A and B are shown apart, each in its own frame.
Chain A
Amino acid sequence: MKYLDEYRSEELAQKIVAEIHRTVTKPWVLMEVCGGQTHSIVKYGIDRLLPQSVELVHGPGCPVCVTSLEMIDKAHAIAQRPDVIFCSFGDMLRVPGSHGDLLVLKSRGADIRIVYSPVDCLKIARANPDKKVVFFAIGFETTAPSNAMSVWQAKKQGVSNFSVLVSHVLVPPSIASILQSPLNRVQGFLGPGHVCVVMGYREYEPLAERFRVPIVITGFEPIDILQGTLMTLRQLEAGTHTVENQYPRVVNRDGNKVAQDLVNSVFEVCDRKWRGVGSIPKSGYKLRYEFHEHDAERIFDVREIDTAEPAHCISGLVLRGVKKPHDCACFGKVCTPETPQGATMVSAEGACAAYYAYGRHLELQKGLAEVAHA
Chain B
Amino acid sequence: MNLIYAKIVEVFIEEDMRMGRVQVGGAIKKVPLDLLTEARPGDTVLLADGVAISKVRPDESP
Which of A's residues lie within 8 Å of B, judged by CB?
Answer: 1-4, 6-7, 9, 12, 36, 63-64, 89, 91, 116-120, 139, 142-143, 145-147, 149, 153, 156-157, 194, 197-198, 223-224, 227, 248-251, 256, 258-259, 262, 349
Contacts and interface: CB of A to CB of B under 8 A. Distances in A.
A6 B61 contact: yes
Given A227-B62, A256-B53, A146 B5 contact: no
The 3 closest A-B pairs by CB, nearest first: A117-B50, A249-B60, A146-B49
B11 interface: no
6 contacts: A3-B44, A6-B62, A146-B49, A149-B34, A198-B53, A250-B55
Interface of B is mostly: loop
Given A157-B15, A259-B35, A146 B50 contact: yes
Interface of B: 1-3, 5, 15-17, 25, 31-32, 34-37, 44, 46, 48-51, 53-58, 60-62
A258 B54 contact: no
B46 A145 contact: no
Q: Which of B25, B32, B58 has the most CB of A within 10 A?
A: B32
Q: Which of A63, A118, A157, A194 has the most CB of B within 10 A?
A: A194
A251 B48 CA distance: 14
A249 B56 contact: yes
Q: Which of B2, B51, B56 has the most CB of A within 10 A?
A: B51
Contacts of A120: 50
Given A142-B48, A197-B46, A262-B35, 18 more contacts: A1-B5, A9-B62, A89-B49, A117-B51, A119-B50, A139-B1, A147-B49, A149-B34, A149-B35, A156-B16, A194-B48, A197-B53, A197-B54, A223-B62, A249-B57, A250-B56, A256-B36, A256-B54
